[in-house]
Amino acid sequence: MNLFGVEMNSFVYYFCPFPDKQIGASTITIQAPTASLGRQSQMKERGLKTMAAPSAEILRITTAAEAPARDWESKLDLIKRTVAAGASPDELELFLYQCKRTGLDPLARQIYYVKRQGKGVTQVGIDGLRLIADRTGLYAGNDDADFIGVTDSGHPAKTRVTVYKMVQGQRCAFTATARWDEYYPGDAQGFQWRKMPHAMLAKCAEALALRKAFPADMSGLYVHEEMEQADRPLQDPQQPVEGEQLAESLNKAFDSSARKSASAVAPDGKDAFGYAPIRWPLPKMFGEPATPSQEKMMLAKADERHVPSELLADVKRLVLEAYGLEDEATKASASLFIDWLLNADDGALDTAIDAAGKTEPAQSVGS
């Protein structure tokens, strides 16, 4: 296959317009052209030097099959036991497809498998969406979140984020707005939202803007903060409430203050390495098993707080023992340990890790 040749003043100049790079396609080798024997003899007769033929292999394009395998693909059993625990075969296959499609690493917690209302769904972290955008080569940054208005509860009413993308050489803006009343998951599971309202709402707005800018790369990908509201029960305001549903609603309304006071304050003396929980679990939670989502939350928060994985089970045991709890597998125990991981200061964390390092190893969390 010949490239381009231009003859000027008896000299022959050859050039290749293709840079030396790798892209996903079939393997192609382009042969560089050489001067014909007649042309070489003419140039020698005139006392001119002939150009040495360049290397025959100018461009090599690597196929996807030749590309090195992703590290996580060799650890599918580990993913089944941890990241995608509880997934059906079809759900696991769909999750792995999304991992390969997006190029995100499930073991690095860039992409997640989550059960919502009994159905397995794939979610990503906001850093995962940023990584996908960056890999396109067209991501041109974003503005800091702009918070507008305040709700009656004192939280930001809405948040606006602008993402930039290069389109035909121009830096174009893609703006999206997230509203508190649409994304707040409710008081039952909105602890993190009340603690960090600006950060949580800003993630939702940024995710919306990134999908606007890169729909081909991010369609169907949602961050955890966007999806928390999916677990919030819906009630049609136009639908009448009757029978048992009415009785249940009335019981909840009249009993809410009593239940709140029963769980609002932890019993005296419940202190783990200097941190006392603000809320104490409801009595029924002590008889219910910990959920897979709680187990995943424990692992994620422990990783964020840099708790050594080999000491995590011992840290958990010591914290719960300090609270006077022996059963570590209940929903209440998981809730208290997650609360401790979220709110204990660094001094308490270091003390617990040091103490765990001096004890006999316990069974791993999540096993």
Between helix 331-343 and helix 312-322 the angle, nearest 10°, is 100
Most confident of 33-37, 102-106, 212-216: 212-216
Q: Is the pLDDT of residue 112 over 70?
A: yes
Q: What is the pLDDT of residue 18?
A: 43
Report helix, strand or coil for 53. Answer: coil
Q: Is the pLDDT of residue 299 over 50?
A: yes
Q: What is the pLDDT of residue 87?
A: 86
Q: What is the pLDDT of residue 16?
A: 44
- Is residue 298 within 8 A of residue 341, CB to CB? The reply is yes
Predicted confidence band at 206 (pLDDT cuts at 50, 70, 90)? very high
Q: Is the pLDDT of residue 3 over 80?
A: no
Q: Is the dihedral of CA 102, 107, 112, 117 positive or negative?
A: positive
Predicted confidence (pLDDT) per residue in 167-182, tens digit: 999 999 999 999 999 9
Predicted confidence (pLDDT) per residue in 244-253, tens digit: 444 555 454 4
Q: Which residue has the higher pLDDT, 194 or 325?
A: 194
- Is residue 43 within 8 A of residue 50, CB to CB? The reply is yes
Q: Is the pLDDT of residue 1 over 50?
A: no
Report yes or no on whether pTM surpasses 0.85: no
Q: Which residue has the higher pLDDT, 193 or 263?
A: 193
Q: What's the mean per-residue pLDDT of the chain? A: 74
Q: What is the pLDDT of residue 209?
A: 96
Check residue 261 and report its DSSP letter: H
State which H helix or E strand residue 335 sits in.
Answer: helix 331-343
Q: Is the pLDDT of residue 264 over 50?
A: no
Q: What is the pLDDT of residue 121?
A: 85
Predicted confidence (pLDDT) per residue in 52-109, tens digit: 444 434 333 333 333 334 677 778 888 888 888 888 889 889 999 989 989 998 888 8
Q: Would you list the domain boundaries of the chain? A: 1-67, 71-231, 263-356
Average pLDDT value for residue range 332-340: 86
**Structure token pair of residue 265:** 């304050």
Average pLDDT value for residue range 31-44: 49
